Every structure is written in structure tokens, then in C-alpha cells.
Structure 1
Amino acid sequence: MDFTEIYRQSAGHVAFSPGAHFILTAVADRLVVRRADTFHVSRSWQVPCSPTPSAAAIASTTSSRSVRPGPNADSLTQTAISHIAWSPDSEYVFAACAKLGHVYVFRMRDEDWTAHIEAGAEGLIRAEWAPDGRHVLCFSEWGLRLTIWSLVTRIATYIQYPLHPDRGHAFRQDGRYFVLAERHKSKDTISVYDATNSFSLARHFPLPTSSMSSLALSPSGNHIAVWEGPLEFRLLILSLAGDVLGTFKPDLDPGFGIRNVVWHPSGMFLAVSGWDNKIHILEQLTWSSVATLELGTRIPANVTIWREPSNWLEATEGRGFLSYEKLEGPHPLNANRVDNSKAYPKCGTTQLEFNKAGTLLMARFENVPTAVHLFAFPGPGEAFSPRLRSVLLHSSAVAHAQWNPLRQGRLAISCGGQAIYLWSEEWIGEGGAEEEMAECVGIPAKKFDALDVRWAPDGKGLLLIDRETFCCAFEVGPEP
């Protein structure tokens, strides 16, 4: 792998453009766009850091949300930008300053063109792009409303009482419909809006839930998975018309709710997990469980085990790469003790993700923080028998793991140290057949902690994020 120089960033705000040609970063109060091939600065904008009149008025009476000049001015400037994002067509970028109530939109082709969105007294907690790249969604504080701003017509559309700002909403893949969880008169509801018709209301129906946690829209856009809060393990499958198609509850109540729900890329299956270290696989016909994957105390003998070599960074001086150690099973799995008497016990899945082809399911369990589990998932025409295929064991807790967005058998892992870890099933063995391979790759820097790792949209490079800096790593050699 080839590594770039190290560049500054603030609060982890670094993002590849959708075409992977540019990299957007926030550095204090400035947005910087670099070319991904040369890393030369292509565009740069300074974001004003003055609060809106509404935010200033609220700050004068609310000490918990103070936005005042004086001793805190420098620290406020350093943390002013709370969100950055590319539009899906890479034409625009925005920088949101949630504490100050601003969203600034800039255009790549015209450095002088800007748009300014100012939140009112309801405040601003989150901003994101609509799939068309011409609407910005702004969620207010306290769940008061969602405001959808059009860059074309300069008209705002208001939706009252969204349930959550960071979850509970989704666009269909074609961008036609926007599904939003709302709460009206103490009742959970779902609304479906036509994004191509000024976000007009197409459907609105109540939910049979007491405290909805979130929702997940199927890849086909025909089904909505909705689940309860942390106190009840209950999942509902609904159509876009509001019909309840299925309900799932385990035979034995685990005592806590659902942590992760992820659709299979085909939409034929649904993986559901909670705090009990079990992953339930539901199928589309009856929405019942057809398989249960469970974390055990030992790794079985028919599973490939990869272990990070001890002290390999010191031996290689942080340069080059080294293969994992391949172990023979069965092998004990050292799990942390769990105190179920506490709220949100440290167990269950913290991450659940299918690869692009749906042939592998990656899972990370909180009480085994150093391990990454890979489950083989049958493809079309194969006997349905999901099983544990590989386990990757590390010296430190895994900070982040992500599948390659294009190559189906490529996984990147970071553990917060001066290295990244790569797993692949595309390695060509001596017999010419594809085999799996796991490698530790040192980052050639004097001091760098890879707290986060993100693939480029084209799958050819990686963003490595430290606390205040970042660098990129690009694979060299012929593609498989």
C-alpha cells in the first residue's frame, strides 16, 4: 500500500466525494477540498462563526447552551462545524454549524456561489442531503420539526415532530419516497412523502409500537422494518401502505430490546440482533426466524482463525505488512464478564453488516471487543445454512470495520493504533484458486492512531482518521 502525507482535520470531518475524485475536510472554521490524485487544494471556503440572532437570544438566557464572545470564543471557533457532506452528484458541499444554527452550502464549479440556511428559535441538531442533491434536510432540536430547504426554488417545506434526528428516516434507493417516523399526540406514526413532488404527503399511518427505536427500509423499498426501544425485543414488518406483514419476537425473551437490524442486499432476508449475543435471520415469506447465529465460548474446529502477531509493529518498525497468524481450532474465545443488572450491559452486537454481494455477514460483539466474526451466507441456489466462517483476533479493541463498497470480499479494520488490518478472500493461492488472507499493515508515520477507517466510493483507497489529522492509503498492483 502507498500512504500519503498527513493532513490536518477537525473532529473527524473528512469525506471522499461520491466519485472519489476529491476529498472534503473541515479544519477549524474552514472547508478544504483536495484532489484525490495529487492532494493539491482545489477549493477552500471560510465558514462564519457568528451565532444566529435566535441562537444568541437563547444563549443570553440559557447557560447550558451559551454562545458568547469572551473566553469561549476560541474553543467555539474550533468546534463550529458539526457536519460536512457532499451532494450525491458532487456538485455541492455543505458545512453545518449546529451550535450556531447555520448551514452553509457551496458550489464546486463556482467558488463565489453560496447559500445560507439559518435555523430559527427551534435550533439545529443535524443536517443531511436528499438524494437529488438539491434539497437539504435540517432537523431541529427537541424533535420539533424537520425543515427541507430547496436550493432551486428557495422554498422550505416543514414537517412537524420527527421522532429522531439521527435515525428513523430513510429514502428509497431511487429517491422517489422519503419515509419518516413521527410522533403525534403521544403516538408513533410513519409518514411517506413524495420527494419528486415537493415532499407532499403520500401516506400517513399509526404504528402499533409504544416507543419506536428506529426503522430500516428494504433494498427494494417495498418493506419497512420497525422495532421497539431497548426494553422490548419486538420487530414489525410493514408495507409502504401501512399494512403489518409480520411480527418477530424470540421464543425466549432476552430481557432487552434490539440493537441492530440490517437487510440482506437482495431484500430476501433480515438480520436482527440484541443484547443477548444472538443474531436472528428472518426470511421474507413468513418473516420468521430460519437461522440463529450465536456467540460461543469456543471457536469451532471448522472455522478459520486469524490472530494478530504479538509485537509485530516493533519488529517491523511500523513499515511494511505482515500476515496474521493462522490458528487451528477449536480455540477459546476470551469474553468479558457481563453485568446484566446494569442498564445497557456491555454485550450483544455493536456492528452488523453484509458485504456487497450478501455472501458474508460481519459481526462485532461488545463483550469480545478484540474479535471480528465473519459468517458465510449462502447465495442463490445454495442450501440455506449460514455458518461461522472466520474469526479475526486482535491485540487491541476494534475501533471500526468496514466492507469494501465494490469488492465483495475485502474488509478493512482499525484498532486505534499505528496500523490497519485487511482481510480478503480474493488472494490467489499457489494452485490458482482464490483463498482468504489477513494482513497487518503498518502506517509509516512517527505518530498516528487510526481511530477510524473509511473506504473510498470506488473501493481503491482508504481514509485513515486520527484525532486531529488524516492520511490516505491506496492499494498498488493489478486489480483482481
Structure 2
Amino acid sequence: MGAFAVDTLDLADMEWSPDDSAIVIWDAPLEFKVLIYSPDGRCLSKYQAYESGLGVKSVSWSPCGQYLAVGSYDQMLRVLNHLTWKTFAEFMHLSTVRGPCCAAVFKEVDEPLHLNMSELCLSDEFLQGNSVELIVFPFLKDVSEGHFRVMYDVTEVPISLPFQKPPADKPNPKQGIGLMSWSKDSRYIYTRNDSMPTALWIWDIRHLELAAILVQKDPIRAAAWDPTCTRLVLCTGSSHLYMWTPSGAYCVSNPLPQFNITDLKWNSDGSCLLLKDKESFCCASVPLFPESTVPWRSCKKFSSSFDTTKHYKLTKTSQWFFFFALCVTIFVSSSMRDVKKWFLSIVDRRVPSVHDIGAF
């Protein structure tokens, strides 16, 4: 054990590399400075993209340890390599995305729920019962009030993204790369520019290009990569869950009443997803489906619909909604302190099945 001084004005944070061979240290936002140190205190590299303006906002190592992503207040993502510690990629987050662009732009839209009740038939015994008013009328009332399902609409470029200009007279402006994370295979990295909180950018590091943009109706609260494959889930504080894979993007409706997803977390083997509300949480089983052979460009919309027509062919992957509805186990807790303890206890165990739910 030892101690060494670092060349910073006000050390903001630090992070070990995945192989523990290096430590990245970055300065407070008042100065752009990223320092790479060895565990014995030797400064391996010093990186400074610019001198004036607010500096580093977020830093993340790739799982392979070969790339270091640096997000800054100038709304850019810079990626350094582990050999020379120089940047080999810079990605800008512009409010208007123009061509030529190979990225798929998925925009969340509402679609009214249309019910076909032409074949509805009730027996005389049911009509004479007292439960008709309790069962049928509330159901029709909910429909008349306008319940919607959400889906992704594939949008062509150019597209203008919702942009929020931060006030100049307030500290800690909501701009810059405030959220980012690498996929398990280190090929993709997602970012969120805080001045465009409803858009999630997914970058392909192998081809050094933008792979996809997910444009949500509400600001993105959290996103997490599957620890076993290239699958990304995100939430916006609504009752819906959103998923992206290289084959496309999907919206899944949450069957739980008044459960708004504000945070989420995978377990270690990717078989279980913890979804958190303000006062409760649930555990969802998310089975892995094989990637579709149909490219996303051949479809127009992606949603949790189970229509078998060609228009929704790619959305068969979202059939894990059935598992979500049947295998979900609800745990209501008065304190969210119990969430982490419970979730860690089930990491090495199987997710409760439908037959196990009664045990709770």
C-alpha cells in the first residue's frame, strides 16, 4: 500500500482499468484534465482536449480495457486507446442529425388501443349476475378514458431532436455527456447528452459511426446493458420498458398497475431484471431470444404488439412480455434499503417460476 500525489487542482473521481493495470483520474469540471497513472504512482499519460470551458463530466473504461471513453461538457464523446492514450474517435451530439447517416432512428409514439368487441358474447347467467357492473363497466370506462400503447416508429434523417438550453445563471448546467456505458463486448457504447435528455445515442466503435438513436417521449432515467449479450434496456419513469439490440428496438408495456419504472439493474447472468418504482420494485424474467434475420430497415414500426403480419414481423422478439406478465414477482417495500439486499441474494439462484409465486 502507498500514496502518491496527482497533478490535479481538485480531483473529481477515479476508476481502475478492468485489468487493474492503470488508474484514470480526472479533474473537477473547471478544468479539462484526464490523467492515467500506474498503480505504483507513475503518470502514464495526461490528456487535455481544450483549456477554456467546463471539462470532464463522465469517464468509462471498456470491459476489454482497450478503450477509455471521456464525456465532457462540450457535448462530445472522445475515445482513447490503451497503447498511446491518444484519441482515435470523437463523436458529436448535434441537435439536428443529417445524412449521410446509417443510423436507425427510433422514435417513441403513442397508438390508441382499439378494441374489437364485435364478437363479444355474454351468457344470460352472467348478465343476470351482480358482477356485470363491477367487471364490464370499469373496463369500458378505462378504454373510454384513452389507454395507449407505445411503439417505435423508424424515422428518416434529417431529424431535429428536442433540445434544452441550460440557463446561464445557474451552476451545474444540464449539458454534456452525463450518462454512458459500454456493452459487454466493448463494441457499442451508449451516451445521453443532458441537454437532450430524451435521446439515447448508441455508437458503434468497430465502425466508428452512429448505430442508432432512441428518441423517447420522456427524459431517460436509466439504461443498462445485458451482462451476457448485446442487449440494452432503458426506462424513462413511465410504465413502459424499452429494449434495443442490433436487430431493432422494442417497447414493452408493463402489466402492473401504477408501476412507473424509475431505475433498473441486471443480475449477473442476465436472466433477471430488477425494476424499481418510487415505493416498490419487481423482478422480471427476461428470456433471451435468437436474433431476427430480418433487418430493421424492412420494418416500419417496433412495439410490444404481437401482430403476426409482415408489418410487425421483427417484434416477435418482444414476446418476452408474456414472461414478464406471468413470471413477475412483486415485492412491496416501505424502504428501498431492502432492495439491494434482496436482489443480491437471488443472483446465484433461479428466478421464481409461476408455481413459486404462491410461496410469497
Q: Find the aligned partners of 1:320 and 1:437 in 2 and give their Cα distance.
A: 22
Which residue of structure 2 aligns with residue 440 of structure 1?
251
Which residue of structure 2 aligns with residue 401 of structure 1?
223
Q: 1:415 to 1:315 in 2, by over 3 A?
A: farther
Q: Find the aligned partners of 1:360 and 1:295 in 2 and give their Cα distance.
A: 16
1:338 partner amino acid: P
- 1:456 aligned to 2:256? no
Which residue, out of 292, 295, 303, partners 2:93?
295
Q: Find the aligned partners of 1:236 and 1:249 in 2 and give their Cα distance.
A: 9
Q: Find the aligned partners of 1:276 and 1:477 in 2 and give their Cα distance.
A: 38
Q: Find the aligned partners of 1:259 and 1:216 in 2 and give their Cα distance.
A: 14
TM-score (norm 1): 0.51
Structure 1: runs of 5 or more not aligned: 1-200, 379-384, 426-435
2:87 partner amino acid: S
Retained in 2: the 8 A contact 1:319–1:441? no
The 3-state SS of whatever aligns with 2:259 is: coil
- 1:388 aligned to 2:210? yes
1:359 partner amino acid: R
Q: CA deviation at 1:208?
A: 1.7
Q: 1:423 to 1:320 in 2, by over 3 A?
A: farther
Q: CA deviation at 1:458?
A: 1.3
The 3-state SS of whatever aligns with 1:342 is: coil
- 1:305 aligned to 2:105? yes
Q: 1:315 to 1:360 in 2, by over 3 A?
A: farther
Residues 57-206 of structure 1 correspond to what in structure 2 (within 5 A)? 201=1, 203-206=2-5
1:9-58: CA deviation from partner (whole Å, max 9, x where unpaired)? xxxxxxxxxxxxxxxxxxxxxxxxxxxxxxxxxxxxxxxxxxxxxxxxxx
The 3-state SS of whatever aligns with 1:309 is: strand
Q: CA deviation at 1:319?
A: 10
- 1:326 aligned to 2:148? no
Q: CA deviation at 1:322?
A: 6.1
Which residue of structure 1 aligns with residue 198 of structure 2?
370
Q: 1:211 to 1:354 in 2, by over 3 A?
A: same
Which residue of structure 1 aligns with residue 73 of structure 2?
275
TM-score (norm 2): 0.68
The structure that is strand-richer by fraction is 1
1:87-119: CA deviation from partner (whole Å, max 9, x where unpaired)? xxxxxxxxxxxxxxxxxxxxxxxxxxxxxxxxx
Q: CA deviation at 1:324?
A: 1.2
The structure that is helix-richer by fraction is 2
Residues 221-260 of structure 1 correspond to what in structure 2 (within 5 A)? 221-250=20-49, 252-260=50-58
Retained in 1: the 8 A contact 2:111–2:149? no
RMSD in angstroms over aligned alpha carbons?
2.3
Q: CA deviation at 1:341?
A: 4.4
Which residue of structure 2 aligns with residue 186 of structure 1?
none
1:328 partner amino acid: E
- 1:414 aligned to 2:251? no
The 3-state SS of whatever aligns with 2:175 is: coil
Q: 1:345 to 1:322 in 2, by over 3 A?
A: closer
Which residue of structure 2 aligns with residue 469 of structure 1?
280
Retained in 2: the 8 A contact 1:299–1:332? yes
Q: 1:228 to 1:263 in 2, by over 3 A?
A: same
Structure 2: runs of 5 or more not aligned: 116-142, 292-360
How many residue pairs align between the two structures? 260
Retained in 1: the 8 A contact 2:162–2:198? no
1:136-182: CA deviation from partner (whole Å, max 9, x where unpaired)? xxxxxxxxxxxxxxxxxxxxxxxxxxxxxxxxxxxxxxxxxxxxxxx
2:109 partner amino acid: P
| Runs of 4+ with deviation above 2 angstroms | 314-323, 338-342, 475-480
- 1:209 aligned to 2:37? no
Q: CA deviation at 1:476?
A: 4.5
Which residue of structure 2 aligns with residue 263 of structure 1?
61
2:240 partner amino acid: A
Which residue, out of 165, 168, 185, partners 1:357?
185
Retained in 2: the 8 A contact 1:320–1:442? no
Q: Find the aligned partners of 1:235 and 1:244 in 2 and give their Cα distance.
A: 11
Q: CA deviation at 1:334?
A: 2.1
Q: 1:315 to 1:343 in 2, by over 3 A?
A: farther
- 1:343 aligned to 2:343? no
1:249 partner amino acid: Q
Q: Find the aligned partners of 1:215 and 1:466 in 2 and give their Cα distance.
A: 30
Q: 1:263 to 1:392 in 2, by over 3 A?
A: same
